[in-house]
Amino acid sequence: MRVIRCDGSPEAVRTLDEAVRVMLAGGEAVAPLGPGQASPLRGPGAGQAVVGTSGSSGPHKWVQLDAAALIASAAATHTRLGGAGAWLLALPTHHVAGLQILVRAALAGCRPTIVNLHGGFDPLAFNAAAHRLISEDGRCYTALVPTQLSRLLDTDPEPLAGFDAVLLGGAATPEHLLRRARAAGVVVVTTYGMTETAGGCVYDGWPLDGIQIRLDNDGTVELAGPTLATGYLDAKEATAQAFHDGWFRTRDRGQFDSQGRLRVLGRADDVIVTGGLNVVPADVEAVLTSLPGVAAACVVGVPDPEWGERVTAAVTPADPGHPPDPRELRAAARRLLTGAQVPKEIVLLDALPLRGVGKPDRRAVRSLLTARNR
């Protein structure tokens, strides 16, 4: 197995890109590792990638993805977007979203244009690379997380509008951010998926070709199709629990709208039980991020002797120099939410703790807000 350290530099990306192309052709397995990430104890057979999960639903796991699943995902993406094209890479390649850009570029017969992430994401560097890419003939795409999209819109949305599609995943996207991007002419496609599905497999609520979706009795999302992983490396019990009869059981709750489009409500274990009532954090976050002055929100349940869990929100201001008043936010939320959903407390933070590819770290937020109340 070829183990490659991914530090965000173009040099590391090019090394991984070569290894991925060998793997896709049935060659040596590859394991992209993030900074400080320990290597798997052993590797799988040839023609496979081993990618670490973000650990959002428990201990970190190594997901085995064979070349056929990665290629099926890339091909289905190109079909949905209107054809193969060139890709701009601005995501970490030790996560499946970044790795898949390498696979899509390989499938399209081109090399990815690389944004240097070694020192962090720089909107100006992204825009410079975007200008170079969109000036060429043919279709072109990129993929971002919501935080990157927001920063690029603040800097200069014009380069983003030159892409045939901008995939957006990694975390739930506030509606106001989507509206702002689309008003600027950006073709945003929201994606839902995970490492176990070789990345996004549901675009704008609709499954990619070959993907099936079903909900079990409690609304948990289950997925099937050719993009599924073969399982977890050296974890037979975890594999048996998550993969069964060709289906992968996520830990997300969802529902179908009147047109059959999937709406993901959030992780089942994120549901807050307050006073005997269930509150879905995503519903509260959607309202909070629609309010003036709010850039992002993370809603968690903080232990409470009376309510069991107290609905509490961490909010980051759109303009740190003029933050919103938490009391005014609560008053506005009270007009838009039911009683149990209204946060008992709203705390302003300069930034939300993140994990993975731009996802709010709920456990870290919960620990932070719990400590404040001790």
Same domain, 56 and 108: yes
pLDDT band at 231 (very low <50, low <70, confident <90, very high): very high
Which amino acid is present at 155? T
pTM of the model: 0.86
Reading the block at residue 111, the tokens are 């090399």
Please report the pLDDT score of residue 336 as a whole number: 93
pLDDT at 265 over 70: yes
Q: Which of 242, 264, 286 is the last residue of a domain?
A: 264
Same domain, 131 and 61: yes
Q: Which is nearest to 68 in space by CA: 26, 40, 38? A: 26
Same domain, 56 and 103: yes
Please say whether the beta carbons of 242 and 217 come within 8 A: no
pLDDT at 100 over 90: yes
Q: Which of 234, 264, 294 is the last residue of a domain?
A: 264
Q: Which is nearest to 171 in space by CA: 91, 80, 278, 65? A: 91
> What average pLDDT does this structure show over 250-262?
94
pLDDT band at 266 (very low <50, low <70, confident <90, very high): confident
How far apart are alpha carbons 306 and 320 in whole angstroms?
A: 34
pLDDT at 46 over 60: yes
Q: In total, how many domains does the chain have?
A: 2
How far apart are alpha carbons 127 and 223 in whole angstroms?
A: 35
Please report the pLDDT score of residue 200 as a whole number: 96
pLDDT band at 54 (very low <50, low <70, confident <90, very high): low
Q: Which of 264, 289, 310 is the last residue of a domain?
A: 264
Same domain, 79 and 173: yes
CATH assignment at residue 319: 3.30.300.30
Same domain, 257 and 352: no
Same domain, 295 and 245: no
Lowest mean pLDDT among 3-17, 53-67, 245-259, 278-292: 53-67
> What average pLDDT does this structure show over 53-80?
86
Please say whether the beta carbons of 15 and 34 come within 8 A: no
pLDDT at 154 over 50: yes
Reading the block at residue 225, the tokens are 């199709």
Same domain, 238 and 298: no
Reading the block at residue 262, the tokens are 């999937």
Same domain, 149 and 294: no
Length of the chain: 374
| DSSP structure class, residue 126 | H
Reading the block at residue 373, the tokens are 């109340």
How far apart are alpha carbons 358 and 295 in whole angstroms?
A: 14
Which amino acid is present at 21? R
Name the 3-class secondary structure at 77: helix
pLDDT band at 57 (very low <50, low <70, confident <90, very high): very low
Please report the pLDDT score of residue 59 as a whole number: 54
Please report the pLDDT score of residue 55 as a whole number: 54
Same domain, 259 and 282: no
Q: Cα 56 to chain center, whole Å? A: 11
pLDDT in tens, 172-212: 788 888 999 999 999 999 999 999 999 999 999 999 999 99
Structural domain boundaries enclosing 355: 271-372
Average pLDDT over the chain reads 93
pLDDT in tens, 344-372: 999 999 999 988 667 788 999 999 999 88
Residue 243: partners with Cβ closer than 8 Å, 6 or more residues away: 196, 228, 229, 231, 249
Same domain, 84 and 209: yes
CATH assignment at residue 133: 3.40.50.12780
> What average pLDDT does this structure show over 27-41?
90
pLDDT band at 61 (very low <50, low <70, confident <90, very high): confident
> What average pLDDT does this structure show over 77-95?
97
Reading the block at residue 153, the tokens are 């819109």
Same domain, 242 and 276: no
Report the DSSP pairing between strands 212-215 and 220-224. antiparallel
Which amino acid is present at 227? T
| DSSP structure class, residue 7 | -
Over pLDDT 70: what percentage of the chain?
98
Please report the pLDDT score of residue 123 as a whole number: 96
pLDDT at 313 over 50: yes
Please report the pLDDT score of residue 282 as a whole number: 87
Q: Which is nearest to 272 in space by CA: 352, 200, 337, 190? A: 337
Same domain, 249 and 276: no
